[in-house]
Structure 1
Amino acid sequence: MNILLINHYAGSDYHGMEFRPYYMAREWVNMGHNVTILAADYSHLRKKNPKVDKDFQEEVIDGITYVWVKTPEYHGNGVGRIKNISTFMWKLRMNYKKVADKYKPNAVIASSTYPLDIYPAHRIAKRCNSKLFFEIHDLWPLSPMEIGGYSEKNPAIVILQRAEDFAYRNSDKIISILPNADKHIRERGFSTDNFVYVPNGIIIGEKKVPPMEKSIERLKELKEQGYFLVGYTGNHSPANVLDTMIDSAKKTKDEKVKYILVGNGNVKNELMQYAKSNNVTNIEFLDPVLKDNMDNVLQLLDICYISLKKQNLFNYGVSPNKLFDYMMAARPIIYAVEASNDPVKDCGCGISVPAENPDAVVEAVMKIKSLSDEEKKEMGQRGNDYVLANHTYHGLAEKFLNALK
Structure 2
Amino acid sequence: MNILLINHYAGSPVRGMEFRPWLMAREWQKLGHTVTIVAADFTHLRSQNFEVPRSFTEVDVDGVPYVVLKTPRYHGNNAGRGRNIASFCLQLSAHAGRVARTYRPDAVIASSTYPVDIYAASKIARKAGARLYFELHDLWPLTPMVMGNLPWWNPIILILQGGENAAFARSNKIISILPDADRYIRERGYDVGKFVYIPNGVVREEENTAPAEPVPQVETLRALRADGWFLVGYTGNHSVANALETFIDAAVMLRDVRVKLVLVGKGNHKDALTARAAGAENVLFLDPVPKTAMGALLAELNAAYMGLAKSRLFDYGVSPNKLFDYMLAAKPVIYAVESSNNPVRDADCGLTVPVGSPRAVADAVRTLMAMDAPVRRQMGENGRAYVRRNHDYPTLAKRFLAALQD
Determine the structure 2 residue equivalent to 1:303: 303
Determine the structure 2 residue equivalent to 1:186: 186
Deviations 1:227-253 (A, max 9, x none): 111111122111112111111111125
Deviations 1:123-175 (A, max 9, x none): 11112221110000101000000100000000110111011011111110000
Determine the structure 1 residue equivalent to 2:152: 152
| Greater CA drift, 394-403 or 354-363 | 354-363
Change (3 A) 1:267 1:61: closer
Distance in 1, Cα, partners of 2:203 & 2:285: 27
245, 262, 265: which one pairs with 1:243?
A: 245
258, 267, 270: which one pairs with 2:269?
A: 267
- Name the SS for the 2:60 alignment partner: strand
Count of aligned positions? 403
User: For residues 272-291 of structure 1, what are the structure 2 equivalents within 5 Å?
Assistant: 272-276=274-278, 279-291=279-291
Determine the structure 1 residue equivalent to 2:401: 401
Q: Identity percentage over the alignment?
A: 52
Gaps of 5+ in 1: none
242, 257, 260: which one pairs with 2:259?
A: 257
Deviations 1:380-399 (A, max 9, x none): 00000000001111000000
Distance in 1, Cα, partners of 2:334 & 2:46: 28
User: For residues 14-25 of structure 1, what are the structure 2 equivalents within 5 Å?
Assistant: 14-25=14-25
Whichever residue aligns with residue 84 of structure 2, its letter is N
Q: Is the 8 A contact 2:100 2:128 kept in 1?
A: yes
Determine the structure 2 residue equivalent to 1:203: 203
Determine the structure 2 residue equivalent to 1:47: 47
Determine the structure 2 residue equivalent to 1:214: 216
Determine the structure 2 residue equivalent to 1:11: 11
Deviation at 1:8, TM superposition (A): 0.7
Distance in 2, Cα, partners of 1:55 & 1:266: 29
User: For residues 134-145 of structure 1, what are the structure 2 equivalents within 5 Å?
Assistant: 134-145=134-145
Whichever residue aligns with residue 275 of structure 2, its letter is Q
Q: Structure 2-normalised TM-score?
A: 0.96
- Name the SS for the 2:281 alignment partner: coil
Q: Is the 8 A contact 1:29 1:63 kept in 2?
A: no
Change (3 A) 1:143 1:104: same
| Greater CA drift, 367-376 or 256-265 | 256-265
Change (3 A) 1:103 1:267: same
Whichever residue aligns with residue 135 of structure 1, its letter is E
- Name the SS for the 2:306 alignment partner: strand
Deviations 1:305-361 (A, max 9, x none): 111111110101111100011001001110111111110000100011111111111
User: For residues 25-64 of structure 1, what are the structure 2 equivalents within 5 Å?
Assistant: 25-64=25-64
Change (3 A) 1:142 1:231: same
Determine the structure 2 residue equivalent to 1:326: 326
User: For residues 24-173 of structure 1, what are the structure 2 equivalents within 5 Å?
Assistant: 24-173=24-173
User: For residues 366-377 of structure 1, what are the structure 2 equivalents within 5 Å?
Assistant: 366-377=366-377
Distance in 2, Cα, partners of 1:216 & 1:94: 47
Distance in 2, Cα, partners of 1:299 & 1:170: 45
Whichever residue aligns with residue 243 of structure 1, its letter is E
Distance in 2, Cα, partners of 1:373 & 1:3: 47
| Greater CA drift, 183-192 or 256-265 | 256-265
- Name the SS for the 1:109 alignment partner: strand
Whichever residue aligns with residue 156 of structure 1, its letter is I
Q: Is the 8 A contact 1:180 1:316 kept in 2?
A: yes
Q: Is the 8 A contact 1:210 1:292 kept in 2?
A: no
| Greater CA drift, 59-68 or 167-176 | 59-68
Deviation at 1:61, TM superposition (A): 3.0
Distance in 1, Cα, partners of 2:236 & 2:358: 20
Deviation at 1:208, TM superposition (A): 3.6
Change (3 A) 1:290 1:163: closer
Distance in 1, Cα, partners of 2:63 & 2:262: 39
Whichever residue aligns with residue 343 of structure 2, its letter is P
4+ aligned runs moved over 6 Å, structure 1:
none
Q: Structure 1-normalised TM-score?
A: 0.97
Distance in 1, Cα, partners of 2:54 & 2:224: 50
Distance in 2, Cα, partners of 1:27 & 1:126: 26
Q: What CA RMSD, in Å, does the superposition of the two structures yield over aligned residues?
A: 1.3
